[in-house]
Structure 1
Amino acid sequence: MPSSAAERAGFHPLRVSEVERLTDDSVAVTFAVPADLHTAYRHTPGQHLTLRRTGPDGEEIRRTYSICAPAAPEGRTPVLRVGIRLVDGGEFSTYALKELAVGDTVDVMPPMGRFVLDPRPGQFAAVVGGSGITPVLSIAATLLAREPQARFCLVRSDRTEASTMFLDEVADLKDRYPDRFQLVTVLSREEQQAGLPSGRLDQDRLTGLLPALLPVGAIDGWFLCGPLGLVQNAEAALRALDVPRGRIHQEIFHVDDGSAPAPAAAADTPAHATLTATLHGRSGNWPVQRGETLLETVLRARADAPYACKGGVCGTCRAFLVSGEVRMDRNFALEPEETDAGYVLACQSHPATPEVELDFDR
């Protein structure tokens, strides 16, 4: 796992070694990691990669995708395999499904992300929807392989069986660890011959379902991943069941426009604001233009500033607020503990005071 912000921010061209069709609208892409980059690209289960390519009009396109492969033990070659699902109008996902081929080269940033679980004894559970299975597959597979005193329960929701990603990999976990891996599948648009009735996993249903499956209060860590609505419903259900906030970890894979907070008005920004930022050991200060985010301010002078989604979801642009105050339009990436400690998302932050200082290296 990279040890510094400078190391995390750099891209390296990696060769595509495999492209596997998972469903009609998803693929798994594997990258070959050269020996001199093994340390930089060794991941913790649950982390993601930022991929970069140049679009047809010359614009830079960045997207983040979670690593689905188990974490390689120290001394072994890291396996970088990501799951990519087609998004309507998605420039990178369309390219990945229709054009990307073995032998192609893609710019890849080293693994990042804090939606992780270092293997340890205990009982863990996840509620995932759609492509939200991707990081949880890495978490569960690594945990069960390395820690014989660990158990894992996976509750997954998909539209239909044909649209379900990583069916074989999850079935393999069930076969290898029948006493330690519990799988519960819910299909929202298709009836199953056995198992739970079809339908959405909303808060009420999860509040009744989870205690019937496992001892909710004894679970050492909950991992919620998928669309915003599912994650919010699962968190609300767990809180209603008195699960402490510190045991709940979440990662959003998709934010519907209607459910995201509206950006704050530019009128709330001071007329003249200055940003000081430290990035890769070098500091600079620049005026913040009216209406722009602090990430946009940095990018005007420093093209190496870390970012990916620019939507407050991936957390790549996380920075420490050294001084001043900022207002974030939205935040789907940082845990409350992180914001309490002073971290912000630069892509969503606007100055609320005339002077603001950020440190991307902490």
Structure 2
Amino acid sequence: MFHPLRVSEVERLTDDAVAVTFAVPPELRETFRHIPGQHVALRRSVGGQEIRRTYSICAPAVPDGADPVLRVGIRLVEGGEFSTYAFKELAVGDTVEVMEPTGRFVLKPRAGRFAAVVGGSGITPVLSIAASLLAYEPDARFCLVRSDRTVASTMFLEEVADLKNRYPDRFQLVTVVSREEQQSGLPSGRLDQERLTGLLPALLPVTGIDGWFLCGPLGLVTGAERALRGLGVARARIHQEIFHVDDVPAGVLSAAATAKERAPSRSTLTATLDGRSGNWPVQEGDSLLETVLRSRADAPYACKGGVCGTCRAFLVSGEVRMDRNFALEPEETEAGYVLACQSHPATAEVELDFDR
């Protein structure tokens, strides 16, 4: 569900990024109380067309009873309708429709040792995770390995430096820039699988980390996961969130083409959403999300690109083929969850449950 919230602050972070803070009224205090790492979808209409984009909450969580801080980081994307609007036009006092916090790339503060590898704006949810963990759990440690193009393009420099100053014994920071030389620290260059395989064991006991959090562009996240798996880290301890996908991998394209060939000539979708069920014919080429949206405008979605996971649904019966999936963990797909925005029917009848 979306709620109209007033913008209380717009802070310029870099030449191409801003942090936007929303005022949360008392009656929505519990609605917008987030778990560190969650995101929200923002919505606006332009020329009668609805635009939704997902942005991670960068503020730390607050104790029960305290007013939640709803602050998101937005990086300007070339040709991006919402990011351009947020960066160039959005001002204090404006109202934006905001969906309730969601997402499973989260860490509730607990004792242990944790680490993250992030690239670019991938710092946004990890900032909330690290700040909350260190503030509320004295027996926790956190190592942040971050990669950016240049120092000037690095988001939340001051916030990360503040964590280092406040928790010098429990917060470890390693920074790498790919497009300029640094006077100190690691040599410039991309953090790919080979480099991370050599770097991470020199920083910390890789297999002794209780949770790894990987966030950023697809290439960095994929390389980091492969490096960690090669170093013996269990899959269950690796958590991922993709922020940007340049191209659909060739394997995904071929799988999508095969799925289209196998698609039934006619199919019917039954879906349960907010306790109400309905069934509709699936038009040729439509995803299951598009089928639901024709009759239920309240169906959950944000990116429609298989990245955010907002449209996750449980496959009750039938079979589907997903064009791509950059949001669900392997254990989620094994349990029967699919992304409705990327799913097409592979049987004559399919049933989804968005409420599970």
Q: TM-score, normalised by structure 2?
A: 0.98
Match of 2:280 in 1: 286
Match of 1:83 in 2: 73
Q: 1:164 aligned to 2:141? A: no
Match of 2:29 in 1: 38
AA aligned opposite 2:256: A
The one of 155, 169, 182 aligned to 1:179: 169
The two structures, once aligned, show a CA RMSD in angstroms of 0.8
Match of 1:3 in 2: none
Aligned partner of residue 230 in structure 1, secondary structure: helix
1:267-286 Cα deviation digits (max 9, x unpaired): 32100100000001100000
AA aligned opposite 2:32: Y
Q: Hey, what's the Cα distance between the residues in 2 that align with 1:129 and 1:257?
A: 17
User: Which ranges of structure 2 fall in alignment gaps of 5 or more residues?
Assistant: none
Q: Hey, what's the Cα distance between the residues in 2 that align with 1:258 and 1:107?
A: 30
Q: Hey, what's the Cα distance between the residues in 1 that align with 2:34 and 2:192?
A: 32
Q: Hey, what's the Cα distance between the residues in 2 that align with 1:274 and 1:173?
A: 52
The one of 212, 215, 219 aligned to 2:209: 219
1:299-335 Cα deviation digits (max 9, x unpaired): 1111110000000000000000000010000000000
Q: Hey, what's the Cα distance between the residues in 2 that align with 1:259 and 1:68?
A: 30
Q: 1:191 aligned to 2:185? A: no
User: Which ranges of structure 1 fall in alignment gaps of 5 or more residues?
Assistant: 1-9
Match of 2:241 in 1: 251
AA aligned opposite 1:336: P
The one of 319, 325, 329 aligned to 1:331: 325
Aligned partner of residue 101 in structure 2, secondary structure: coil
In the TM superposition, 1:85-234 aligns within 5 A as 85-234=75-224
Q: Hey, what's the Cα distance between the residues in 2 that align with 1:350 and 1:324?
A: 11
Q: Hey, what's the Cα distance between the residues in 2 that align with 1:143 and 1:254?
A: 26
Q: Hey, what's the Cα distance between the residues in 1 that align with 2:248 and 2:276?
A: 39
Aligned partner of residue 256 in structure 2, secondary structure: coil
Aligned partner of residue 142 in structure 2, secondary structure: strand
Aligned partner of residue 301 in structure 1, secondary structure: coil
The one of 11, 18, 28 aligned to 1:27: 18
Match of 2:52 in 1: 62
AA aligned opposite 1:316: T
User: Which 4+ runs in 1 deviate beyond 3 A?
Assistant: none
The 1:343–1:129 alpha-carbon spacing in structure 2 relative to 1, beyond 3 Å, is: same
1:31-76 Cα deviation digits (max 9, x unpaired): 0000000111100000000000011x22000000000000111100
The one of 279, 294, 299 aligned to 1:300: 294
AA aligned opposite 1:60: E
Match of 1:264 in 2: 256
Answer yes or no: is the 8 Å Cα contact 1:67–1:80 preserved in 2.
yes
In the TM superposition, 1:342-361 aligns within 5 A as 342-361=336-355
Aligned partner of residue 320 in structure 1, secondary structure: strand
The one of 306, 316, 333 aligned to 2:310: 316
1:346 CA drift (Å): 0.1
Q: 1:12 aligned to 2:12? A: no
1:257 CA drift (Å): 1.6
Q: Hey, what's the Cα distance between the residues in 2 that align with 1:264 and 1:226?
A: 24
Match of 1:5 in 2: none
In the TM superposition, 1:228-243 aligns within 5 A as 228-243=218-233
Q: Hey, what's the Cα distance between the residues in 2 that align with 1:273 and 1:156?
A: 46
1:84-111 Cα deviation digits (max 9, x unpaired): 0000100000000000000000000000
Q: Hey, what's the Cα distance between the residues in 1 that align with 2:249 and 2:317?
A: 31
Q: 1:47 aligned to 2:38? A: yes
Aligned partner of residue 232 in structure 1, secondary structure: helix
1:106-141 Cα deviation digits (max 9, x unpaired): 000000000000100000000000000000000000
Q: Hey, what's the Cα distance between the residues in 1 that align with 2:122 and 2:349?
A: 39
1:217 CA drift (Å): 1.0
Q: 1:340 aligned to 2:334? A: yes
Corresponding residue pairs, total: 352
Q: Hey, what's the Cα distance between the residues in 1 that align with 2:305 and 2:80?
A: 14
Aligned partner of residue 199 in structure 2, secondary structure: helix
Answer yes or no: is the 8 Å Cα contact 1:269–1:291 preserved in 2.
no
